Amino acid sequence: MSPIHAERVLAIGAGLSGLATARALSGRGLAVTVLEAKDRVAEPWRARHPALRLNIHRKFAGLPGQPAPRADGIYLKRDTVVRHLERYAAQLDAPIHFGTEVTEIVRVADGWQVTATTGVYRAAHIVIATGRESLPHIPDWPGRKTFEGELLHVGDLGDVSRFDGKRVLVVGAGNSGTDALNHLAAHRPKAVMVSVRNGPAIVPRSIFGYPIHGLARLFAALPVKVTDPAFKLTERLLLGDLRRHGLTSHPEGGSTRLLRDGVTFAIDDGFVAALKSGRFRIVPQIERLDGSRVVLNDGTSREVDVIIAATGYRTRLEPLLGHLGVLDENGRPIHAMGERDPDNPGLWFTGFKPIFTGFFDASGIAAKRIASGIEVDVAEASARRDNGGARARLVGRSSMRMRRPTAKDRRSPVARRITTNPHAGGSPARASKSRTEWMD
Ligand SMILES: Cc1cc2nc3c(=O)[nH]c(=O)nc-3n(C[C@H](O)[C@H](O)[C@H](O)COP(=O)(O)OP(=O)(O)OC[C@H]3O[C@@H](n4cnc5c(N)ncnc54)[C@H](O)[C@@H]3O)c2cc1C
């Protein structure tokens, strides 16, 4: 029989989002337990390719109460991010149950029941912080099983130098695809083809040496009707007319895509130069795979050694929470960043909505919202309990008096009011004053 743990708050996921929320809660004196599927923190970061650097400015890579390390300059290296998270987790004043994967979440009368691989937990509040990139997604292209080359998701990129001398097809040029293309541009693959459905909103990493992301707060303060055309103009002025090289752009602007659709900007750091020089080529979308060839939807085909699918991730929330109607058509939470869901009290999400300043900064904003929301709920619940207790005590006392009224009791108007109507007298303070009078 699995143990049953009763908790006040459970945070599911010990990534930066779950840890930031746990810290905000424990900072307010609210007990929280973190459940983490893996055996240590930062596993998603460790699994990413070793040359990865954050594409956000260091000043936005801090976590609440812990600034980003300065050792790497402006863009943190992958291993620095790992150490940053390890240090954060080590200082957390809350237990983390590692090796505890949550497999089922159901609503119960007084909160939530969470079934995990190690037992069953009950809590009044649960914070879902399981990440946007839980499940790498590769489209089910016809003939996929016949493909003789290597087909991998960009999440498994590894060291890109291993693609030297190979014919590589990168599918998708969003944030991750462009990151892979930037790294490929610095190596020696035999050929690189890029297949895109809609081109990305792409910006250079820096303008005249100044890192663009340093201005993220400014972008966030401006309306999208200003930033959408401003980013298009920046792209055009600094990167040129990429349509001439076959790279189309999505009809919607980058800010709209980020804030409405959760699609992050692509950051150029070598890809565009390789495209313009003819080293990289844009090709049509894949129709099917056939042995060593990829057949494209213009009817042509290419010999390919490696396909890197930069085709996104799924959240894996559907099996856990789909039954509650809290997810959108992409399986992402509707209340994605610590907002209260009036239909599901005690259910909170963090880490599912990108913002200009990036996920580290977003984790702090969501953590604050969630911790203050839970604090209010806990205070209200405790006031309700106190009121209930005071009333119960009053009812208890009054019924005792009713059983054995004294002459003095009968003379007291306050006592009469209490014995006939336990709710009379209004506030608990008034009620207890009445009781004191009664006892005198
Ligand atoms: C290649 C790449 C580069 C990126 N670069 C940047 C960047 O430069 N800047 C930036 O801001 N963001 C970046 N991101 C996005 C960023 O990594 C994530 O969105 C961010 O880590 C979110 O953190 P999180 O805590 O929400 O989720 P995660 O880091 O994914 O952590 C979720 C945790 O929950 C655990 N978990 C999952 N399911 C369960 C379960 N059922 N039970 C228990 N535990 C569970 C996981 O094991 C994991 O530890 C990048 C993403 C990728 C893929």
Per-residue pLDDT band for 387 (boundaries 50, 70, 90) equals: confident
Ligand 1 contact via 269 beta carbon (within 6 Å): no
My answer on whether 24 and 117 are in the same domain is yes
Indicate the pTM of the whole model.
0.87
My answer on whether 272 and 170 are in the same domain is yes
Distance of alpha carbon 124 from alpha carbon 8, whole angstroms: 6
In a domain, 390, yes or no: no
In a domain, 278, yes or no: yes
Can you list the pairs that 157-164 forms with residues at least 24 positions away whose Cβ atoms lie under 8 Å? 157/48, 157/49, 157/183, 157/308, 158/49, 158/50, 159/49, 159/50, 159/51, 160/49, 160/51, 160/184, 160/186, 160/187, 161/187, 163/187, 163/189, 163/306, 164/188, 164/189
- As for how many domains the chain has, the answer is 3
Which residue, by CA, sits nearest to atom 5 of ligand 1? 54
My answer on whether 419 and 363 are in the same domain is no
Q: How many angstroms does the Cα of residue 359 sit away from the middle of ligand 1?
A: 9
My answer on whether 67 and 110 are in the same domain is yes
E-assigned strand segments in 162-201: 167-171, 191-195
Ligand 1 contact via 187 beta carbon (within 6 Å): no
Per-residue tokens: 188:
């020696």
Ligand 1 contact via 128 beta carbon (within 6 Å): no
My answer on whether 306 and 172 are in the same domain is yes
My answer on whether 156 and 236 are in the same domain is yes
- Say if residue 335's pLDDT is above 70: yes
Owning domain of residue 14: 4-134+315-378
The three-state secondary structure class of 377 is helix
Question: What pLDDT score was predicted for residue 250?
Answer: 87
Distance of alpha carbon 351 from alpha carbon 362, whole angstroms: 7
My answer on whether 335 and 420 are in the same domain is no
My answer on whether 230 and 243 are in the same domain is yes
Q: Mean pLDDT, the chain, as a whole number?
A: 88
What does each C-alpha distance from 202 to 110, 233, 265, 297 come to in angstroms? 47, 11, 6, 25
In a domain, 29, yes or no: yes
Ligand 1 contact via 15 beta carbon (within 6 Å): yes
Ligand 1 contact via 359 beta carbon (within 6 Å): yes
Q: Which atom of ligand 1 is nearest to the CA of 320?
A: 41
My answer on whether 157 and 266 are in the same domain is yes
Q: How many angstroms does the Cα of residue 61 sit away from the middle of ligand 1?
A: 14
Mutate to test the pocket of ligand 1, among 359, 360, 361, 365 (most ligand atoms within 8 A of CB): 359
Sign of the Cα torsion 251, 254, 260, 261 reads positive
In a domain, 189, yes or no: yes
161 and 316 Cβ atoms separated by less than 8 Å: no
Which residue, by CA, sits nearest to atom 2 of ligand 1? 176
Ligand 1 contact via 33 beta carbon (within 6 Å): no
280 and 181 Cβ atoms separated by less than 8 Å: yes
What does each C-alpha distance from 379 to 154, 211, 279, 375, 428 come to in angstroms? 46, 44, 62, 6, 16
Torsion over CA of 29, 69, 74 and 265, rounded to 10 degrees? -40
My answer on whether 200 and 145 are in the same domain is yes
- Nearest CA to 123 out of 150, 149, 153, 102 is that of 102
Ligand 1 contact via 10 beta carbon (within 6 Å): no
My answer on whether 323 and 426 are in the same domain is no
Distance of alpha carbon 317 from alpha carbon 314, whole angstroms: 8
CATH code assigned at 143: 3.50.50.60
pLDDT tens digit string along 112-150?
999 999 999 999 999 999 999 999 999 999 999 999 999
My answer on whether 175 and 248 are in the same domain is yes
Ligand 1 contact via 353 beta carbon (within 6 Å): no
Strands 313-314 and 206-207: unpaired
In a domain, 383, yes or no: no
Distance of alpha carbon 247 from alpha carbon 411, whole angstroms: 91
The residue among 297, 312, 327 that closes a domain is 312
- Say if residue 299's pLDDT is above 80: yes
pLDDT tens digit string along 149-205?
999 999 999 999 999 999 999 999 999 999 999 999 999 999 999 999 888 999 999
